[in-house]
Structure 1
Amino acid sequence: MPTNEHTVEQALARITAGYVFPDKVATIDEAIRARIASGAYEGLDDRALCETVTAHLQEVCPDKHLRLLWSEEPQSLEPVHDDGGEAAFLALLRKENQGIRRVEHLEGNVGLIALGRIATAAEGANAIGAAMRLVAHSSALILDLRACLGGSPEGAALWNSHFFPDDQVHLNDIYDRCSDSTRQFWTSAHLPGPRYADGRPVYVLTSENTFSGGEDVAYTLQAHGRAVVVGATTRGGAHPTARHPVAEHVLVTVPTARSINPVTGTNWEGVGVVPDIAVPADRALEEALKVALER
């Protein structure tokens, strides 16, 4: 069994190799190695180790995606099995209905779609299309992202594509450190469901828990003036990540890329998505429905 020191050193190696801001790597490495030398991680179980190292990482580099995670399921430490967490994420999406928690028809012919995750475009397309077909004839739509914990950039682009008329809208860019390249995301020409793009209002609900891919959807629709964001400021994590096992029950999440919105020139990292209508998250649905019905 690897020692805690070994586990943390393996995590540092992954951060050094892949973190999207290489100029910050030396500072991170120095700070965490000082903690190792002081004995800060001795005697901790895996859960406590993850919590403690994450807190120390956040002190020196407040990137909410940079962290150690405890995994209940044991992880293979064989390099050939390390896919950056993709297989585990796909399995989670299948278990969670491709991230779609519910679809409802509310009073006043207002549609509601609630998401817990943003599925990949490839595997989630059928479910996303089915949800959009169920709200196709509504007069307004509420997209509830208050419990959305993140997901796929491609999936976020697919969800967003449904709210624009064609394939001519530049949604987002993602710079990847490893390839030193920038990928552009545009609206899709062909969609699995009907477009919701004829001027009908869209309201996006957010909370302090909305994160990563959920923030991508909210931020992009808001930046393009396509949706009104209602609720609380989100957590503020804009960096796509890879997950690597560094011990049987410990993963390090390394942000390897960063989003660049073509409208704002920046992203929501550290600041979150700020709502257009600020209300406590538990009142966001009530407020959005009220505004929709008044409109």
Structure 2
Amino acid sequence: MKKILILAFSLYSLSSFCQNTNSPIIKEILEKVKEHYVDKDLYKKLDSEVQLKNLESLNGKNLAEELTKQLTTISQDQHFFVKYLENFNPEKQKDAKEILKSNNFHNSLENFGFENVRRLDGNIGYINFKGFAEPSSSSKTLESAMNFVANTNSLIIDLRENRGGDNGMLLLFCSYFFKDKANLYSTYFRDKGKTVENNTESKVSGQKYLNKKIYILTSKYSFSAAEGLAYFLKAYQLAQVIGENTGGAANPVDEFIIGNKYLLVVPVGKITAKKTVGNWEHTGVSPDIKTTSEKAFKTAHLLALKDILKNKVQTELSENELENLIRQLEKE
């Protein structure tokens, strides 16, 4: 409650500031936040002017950066974002299909977030995944990645550099680890006055990865949908999370063009997980095994190898070779 009041205090200051300077840009940003931000109690008016009074001297990129800093710092909601659109031309704006096509093309240049998929010694799968692209374009790449690791004994999913992305892709990725359809979470949208249920899919185009050890690597930079994948697989005891506490951004967002000069990203929804009746907003996802981001991969690889050795799971390595590999990794 204290954080909500502080943010309301600061945004009331912003409102007063807008009235004093007649700044149409800041006033429009304020109105969009007021109309769409998920917390309706944000605008309790408090009689003061403090936090944002220095905005009068800023413009362009500097104004965008300062607004982002203020909104995220005061609210502790890391999904707030303002970007200056230097060469924006409203007359040349693309329709939804053109925007999707353009985004998919640019995402394809980064292989839809799949940086690296390989098999480690001991028949352990490894997926280095850096972003959740829109599923209709990226599902084939996900299918290929999951088919590649389907015959491995355990799997490491590396989310240490993953900054999140599309909610649909989060649900599709989760679907590969649930045998049946599961109602993972609901999302409440205040501005639309509705709640949406979010489910995994009972059938996927690739091979599901079931009843095997899964290790998820995280860092403090793991964000949004990346946190969601770690959060849900951990909550259902389908994976161990190894590394650092994640960023703490659960609220879904919407985008608005302000004055044909700025892009405003506003958190418009609130996720509630069915399993935990909570989410990772503000708190992040706490790892099961805490270690530095740099040590997370070796920690997971060792855990996987030791589990294989302990349970006498057959791999391409003999028992002696597994023991030697474990000793080698422990010395490094």
Over aligned residues, Cα RMSD in angstroms? 2.6
Corresponding residue number in structure 1 for 2:305: 293
Shift of 1:62: 1.5
**Which of 182, 189, 192 is the equivalent residue of 1:179?**
192
Deviation of residue 131 (structure 1)?
0.8
Aligned equivalents of 2:139 and 2:64: distance in 1?
34
Counterpart-to-counterpart distance in 2, 1:283 and 1:249: 43
Please show how residues 45-84 of structure 1 align to structure 2 within 5 Å: 45-71=59-85, 74-77=87-90
In structure 1, C-alpha distance between the alignment counterparts of 2:104 and 2:43, rounded to whole Å: 30
- 2:136 paired with 1:122: yes
2:230 maps to 1:212? no
Question: Cα gap change, 1:7/1:166 in structure 2, threshold over 3 Å: closer, same or farther?
Answer: same
Preserved contact between residue 179 and residue 202 of structure 2 (Cα < 8 Å): no
Give the match for residue 190 of structure 1.
203
SS in 1 for 2:255: strand
TM-score by length of 2: 0.78
* Rounded Cα–Cα distance in structure 2 between residues aligned with 1:248 and 1:114: 37
In structure 1, what is the Cα distance between the partners aligned to 2:261 and 2:158?
A: 32
How big is the shift at 1:22?
1.6
Counting only pairs closer than 5 Å after superposition, residues 1-295 of structure 1 correspond to structure 2 as 5-26=23-44, 38=53, 40-71=54-85, 74-77=87-90, 87=100, 90-167=104-181, 169-197=182-210, 199-247=211-259, 250-295=262-307
The alpha carbon displacement at 1:60 in A equals 3.2
Letter of the structure 2 residue corresponding to residue 47 of structure 1: K
Please report how far the alpha carbon of residue 82 of structure 1 lies from its aligned counterpart in structure 2 after TM superposition. 8.6
Give the TM-score normalised by the residue count of structure 1. 0.87
Please say if residues 216 and 242 of structure 2, whose CA atoms lie closer than 8 Å, have aligned partners that are also in contact: yes
Shift of 1:192: 2.1
Give the conservation status (yes or no) of the 8 Å contact 1:20–1:257: yes
Offset of residue 13 of structure 1:
1.9
Q: Is the helix fraction higher in 1 or 2?
A: 2
Q: Secondary structure in 2 aligned to 1:13?
A: helix
Deviation, 1:264, is: 0.7
3-state SS, counterpart of residue 23 of structure 2: helix
Farther-moved stretch of structure 1 (264-273 vs 184-193): 184-193
Structure 2: runs of 5+ lacking an equivalent: 1-20, 308-332
Q: Assess, with a 3 A threshold, how the Cα gap between structure 1 residues 66 and 25 changes in structure 2: closer, same or farther.
A: farther
Greater C-alpha radius of gyration: 2
Deviates more, 1:92-101 or 1:117-126: 92-101
User: Which structure carries more relative contact order (alpha carbon 8 Å, separation 6+)?
Assistant: 1
Assess if the C-alpha contact under 8 Å between 1:35 and 1:41 holds in 2.
no
Deviation at 1:182, TM superposition (A): 1.8
Question: Identity, % of aligned pairs?
Answer: 30
Q: How far does residue 244 in structure 1 lie from its aligned partner after superposition?
A: 1.8
Do the aligned partners of residues 98 and 109 (structure 1) sit closer, same or farther apart at CA in structure 2, a change above 3 Å counting?
A: same
TM-superposed CA distance for 1:6, in Å, is: 2.7
Q: What is the distance in 2 between the residues matched to 1:13 and 1:96?
A: 36
- How big is the shift at 1:105? 1.1
- Give, in angstroms, the shift of residue 45 of structure 1: 4.2
Deviation at 1:248, TM superposition (A): 5.0
SS of the equivalent of 2:206 reads: coil
Residues 129 and 192 of structure 1 are in contact (CA less than 8 Å); yes or no, is this contact kept in structure 2? yes
Q: CA deviation at 1:34?
A: 5.8
Q: Secondary structure at the match of 1:174?
A: strand
How far residue 41 of structure 1 moved from its aligned partner, in angstroms, is 1.8
Q: Aligned partner of 2:42: which letter? A: K
Q: Aligned partner of 2:279: which letter?
A: N
Counterpart Cα distance in 1 of 2:93 and 2:45: 30
How far apart, CA to CA, are the structure 2 residues paired with 1:207 and 1:47?
28
Q: Is the 8 A contact 1:27 1:60 kept in 2?
A: no
CA distance in structure 2 between the partners assigned to 1:282 and 1:148 by the alignment: 15
Displacement of 1:127 after TM fit? 1.1
Distance in 1, matches of 2:74 and 2:159, equals 30
Aligned equivalents of 2:23, 2:205: Cα separation in 1: 48
Letter matched to residue 164 of structure 2? G
SS at match of 1:142: strand
Equivalent pair of 2:72/2:79 in contact (CA under 8 Å):
no
